[in-house]
Structure 1
Amino acid sequence: MNTPSGTANSGAAGDIRRIEVALRDHGYAVHIGPGARRLLPSVVRDLGARRVVVVTALPDADLPDPGVPCHVVRARDGERDKTLATVEEYCRAFVRFGLTRSDAVVAVGGGTVTDTVGLAAALYHRGVPVIHVPTTLLAQVDASVGGKTAVNLPEGKNLVGTYWQPAAVLCDTDHLATLSPRDMLSGYGEIARCAFIGAGDLRGLPLHEQIAAGVALKAAVVARDERDQGLRHILNYGHTLGHAIERATDYAWRHGEAVAAGTVFAGRLAGALGRVDDRRVAEHQEIVAHFGLPTWLPSGVCAQTLVSLMRRDKKGLDTADGALTFVLDGPDGAELVHSVPESVVRSALAAMPTGPEPTAGARPDPA
C-alpha cells in the first residue's frame, strides 16, 4: 500500500525542517533540527497562552524557555511510570498552579512523558493545549507525533487513552547527544520498521533525515486516518509482538528493541502465509540487524506466554472472532490481516532464535 509523503520544507530557523500534520479540522507543525526547542516562545505566543506548566524529565539547566510565566513539574521517563496514577499526579499539579484552558502544557521528555502528559492535557478541563518537546530518538521519530495518548495497565500496554493532538512538536536533535547508547538503540527500532510501511530503506541517511522521513510518513498516514479506522493500522507494524515482549520481560526490553524483534517476526509470519517471498523475509532481518537491533526473541519466554499477551493487546486481538490480527507485508504493501491461524503464529515464533537482553554495542553513530 503506497502512502503519500508528508509536506516537508525548510523552516525559518536555519537547518530546522518543518513537517505539517494536516488534519481535517486542525493541524500543526513538527519542527526537526538542532535548536528546535528555541521555537517554543513563538509557539506559545501563537497559541495566546498566558502561562504554561512544563512537565519535564530534564534538569532545569536543559529546559527550554517558554517566554511566559511557567511552573515546572518533575516527570519520570520509563514504562513503570506510564500509569493512571501519574496522570492524576500531573492533573493535580495543574490544579495547584491554577492552570486554565487559556493556558498550555509543555511536555519535555521521552515517549512516556509525551504520552502521559498528553493524556493529562486531554483530560484536564476536558482539554488544554499541549506542546511536545521530545528529547529521545524514539519520541522524536514516533511517540510525540500523531495525537495518541495512553497509559498502561497491569494487563497490557496503552490500554487507557484517547486522541489529543499537540499544538506543535519541537524535535531538537541536540537532545540526542545526551542519550545513552541503549536509548538511541530503542529509537532505531521505530526507524527500522518504517522501511516496511512506506518510508523505504532509510539506511545510510543522516539521522536527522531518518527522523524527518519517519515523521513525514506518520504525518501523511495520520492526516488520512486520525483515529485508527483503517490506514493508520500500518503504523502498528511490529508492535503486536513487540508489546508482548515488553510485558513478558517486565520492560527489561525497551520499546524499540521489542518492536525490532516484532518487525523480524512480521516478516517471517508474512512469509509463512505466502504474502511475501524469501528475499523480502530476509530483508526484514537485514534492515533490523543493520541498526544493531535484536533479531531474536527473549530467552526464557515461552511461545504460549507471547501468544496470550498478544491476545490481550489492543493491536493483536480480532474482536470479531477472538483470532489474532497482525499488520503484515504483502503484494500491496503493509495491511491489517485478520484471523491469522494460531498454529502459523506459533510456527513463526518457533523459527526465531532466542537470546539475551539487547545491548547497544552495534548501533550506528548519530550523523
Structure 2
Amino acid sequence: MASVPLRLKDHAYDVLIGPGVRHRLADTVRRLGAARAVVVSARPAEWVPDTGVETLLLPARDGEEDKTLATVEALCGAFVRSGLTRNDVVVSCGGGTTTDVVGLAAALYHRGVPVVHLPTSLLAQVDASVGGKTAVNLPHGKNLVGAYWQPSAVLCDTDYLSTLPARELRNGYGEIARCHFIGAPDLRGLPLERQIEASVRLKARVVEADERDAGPRHVLNYGHTLGHALERATDYALRHGEGVAVGTVFAGRLAAALGRVDAARAAEHEDVVRSYGLPAALPEGVGTRELVRLMRHDKKALDGLAFVLDGPGGAALVGDVPEDVVARVLDAMDRRPLAELVAPGPAAVASAGAAQERAR
C-alpha cells in the first residue's frame, strides 16, 4: 500500500493506494467522529465496504448525463431525509462523475459536510477524486458550476480496477499520459499501482502549492481545453480521458506553432499518447469552428483563447492565443471516424487484462 499525504494550510488528508484499502473506510469514519453516513454508490452493494456506523446507501450512476444540478439537489434532499448533520459524513463510491457530483453535494449541504471518496475507476483514482475540485455540467459546457471542497480521505482500492473494461481503463490513461508533460517522470511501462501513485503525488504537490487555481494549478489542465470541447462536441461519446489525450497531442502542436517547443518535443506528445493506446486524432464530423466556439467557454479563457502549453520553462498557462493559429493547428490534425477513436488500442487491452489477472 502507498500513502500520499496532501497538506494544505487549513486541511490535511491522505490518499491510500493499493488492493483492499476500501476496507479502511470504517477506521476513517471512526477517526472523523461521525455518527452516521450516507454512501452514494455507482457500484454493486457487495463492493461497498462497511462504514462502522448507521448508513444510508443511495444508488448512483456514473456518466455525464447525471452530472447535473438536478442530481445534486436530489442528493441534498436525501441527506435531509436521512437526518445527516455536519458532524456526519458522506461517502462516494464510483467513477469521476460520481466523486464530482457527491463532492459538490457535500460542499453545499449545510455549507459543507465531510466527504470521503472511494474512486472505482482509473480516471477517478489518478485525478478526479484528489484535490478538492467538485463540479457539474451545464448545457453550455463542462464543469461550469462547482466548488472547492477537499475530502477527508481518499481510498484508491486497486481491486476496483479489476472490473473495468479495457476502454474504461484507457480513459484513465489519458490523465496519466498528460502527466509526462507537467512534471512527472516517464511512467510508461511501470506497474499500474506505481503509475497511480506517481500521478497522485504530482497532483498533491501542485494542489499544495495552489489549491484554488490562482496560478500553478493550471498545469493540471494540460490537454483539457480541447478535451472538454471534444466531449461536448461528440455529446460525450468521446470520454474524458480520450478527449484529454487528443488535447495533449494538440497542445504539443500548438506549442510548436507558437515557437514554445521544437518539432521533436511536439512529436513526443503523440508518441506518449499512442504508447498508452490512446487516440491522437480528431473525430470526423467535428468542425474547427465548433471546437473554437466551445473552447471559448473554458474557465481559463478570461481574455480570448487560453491553453496550458509546454515551453522552455515547462508547462504554463498561455492566454490570448490567436484564433487563426489555433484554427490552423486544428485543421492540420488527422481526423478519423469516431468509432475508430473509441476502440481501445492494444496497450489498453493488455493493461486491462493484467489488472484483472492480478485481482484473481
The TM-score, its normalising length taken from structure 2, stands at 0.96
Q: Find the residue that maps to 2:143 and give its secondary structure.
A: strand
Shift of 1:62: 1.2
Structure 2 residue 88 is matched with structure 1 residue 129: no
Aligned counterpart, 1:262: 247
**1:250 and 2:231 matched:** no
Structure 2 CA distance, aligned partners of 1:24 and 1:356?
48
CA separation in 2, counterparts of 1:197 and 1:243?
A: 18
The answer on whether the counterparts of 2:278 and 2:345 sit within 8 Å (CA) in structure 1 is no
Runs of 4+ in 1 over 3 A off after TM superposition: none
Structure 2 residue corresponding to 1:276, chosen from 261, 264, 275: 261
1:359 matched to 2:343: yes
Aligned residue number for residue 67 of structure 2: 82
| Equivalence map 1:103-182=2 (5 Å) | 103-182=88-167
Q: Which amino acid aligns with 2:15?
A: V
- Higher relative helix content: 2
Name 2:311's counterpart in structure 1. Answer: 330
For residues 40-79 of structure 1, the aligned pairs below 5 Å read: 40-79=25-64
Secondary structure of 1:270's aligned partner:
helix
Structure 2 CA distance for aligned equivalents of residues 178 and 336 of structure 1: 37
Match status 1:206 vs 2:187: no
1:216 aligns with 2:208: no
Verify: 1:345 aligned to 2:330, yes or no.
no
Shift of the alpha carbon at 1:298?
Answer: 1.0
How far did residue 356 of structure 1 move?
Answer: 2.3
Quick one: distance in 1 between partners of 2:90 and 2:135? 17
Structure 1: stretches of 5+ with no match in the other structure: 1-15
- C-alpha deviations, 1:170-229, integer Å up to 9, x for none? 000000000111110100000000000000221011000000000000000000100000
Distance 1:216 1:326 in 2: 23
Q: Is 1:301–2:286 an aligned residue pair?
A: yes
1:24 aligns to what? 9
The separation in 2 between residues aligned to 1:356 and 1:221, in whole angstroms, is 36
Count of residue correspondences: 348
Partner Cα distance (1:185, 1:179) in 2: 10
**C-alpha distance in 2, partners of 1:106/1:161?**
18
1:68 Cα deviation after fit: 1.1
Provide the rounded CA distance (Å) in 2 between the counterparts of 1:26 and 1:125.
18
Whole-angstrom CA distance in 1 between matches of 2:13 and 2:152: 6
CA distance in 2, matches of 1:249, 1:314: 20
Name the structure 1 match of 2:358: none
Partner SS state of residue 154, structure 2: strand
1: CA distance between counterparts of 2:66 and 2:223? Answer: 23
CA displacement, residues 331-359 of structure 1 (integer Å, 9 cap, x when unaligned): 00000111111111011101110112321
3-state SS in 2 of match to 1:196: coil
For residues 87-129 of structure 1, the C-alpha deviation after alignment (integer angstroms, 9 at most, x for no partner) is 0111011011110111100000000110000000000011000
1:101 partnered with 2:101? no
User: Counterpart of 1:338 in structure 2: which amino acid?
Assistant: G
Unmatched tracts of structure 2, length 5 or more: 356-360
Corresponding residue of 2:76: 91
Partner secondary structure for residue 317 of structure 2: strand
Amino acid corresponding to residue 360 of structure 1 in structure 2:
P
Partner of 1:36: 21
- Kindly state the Cα deviation for residue 297 of structure 1 after the two structures are TM-superposed: 0.5
State the Cα RMSD in Å.
0.8
Counterpart amino acid of 1:223?
A: E
The residue identity in structure 1 corresponding to 2:163 is: T
Q: What amino acid is the match of 1:243?
A: H
Matched residue SS, 1:25: coil
Task: Work out whether 1:228 is the aligned partner of 2:224.
Answer: no
Report the TM-score, using the length of structure 1 for normalisation.
0.94
Distance 1:301 1:336 in 2: 25
The one-letter amino acid paired with 2:335 is T
* Counterpart residue identity of residue 332, structure 1: G
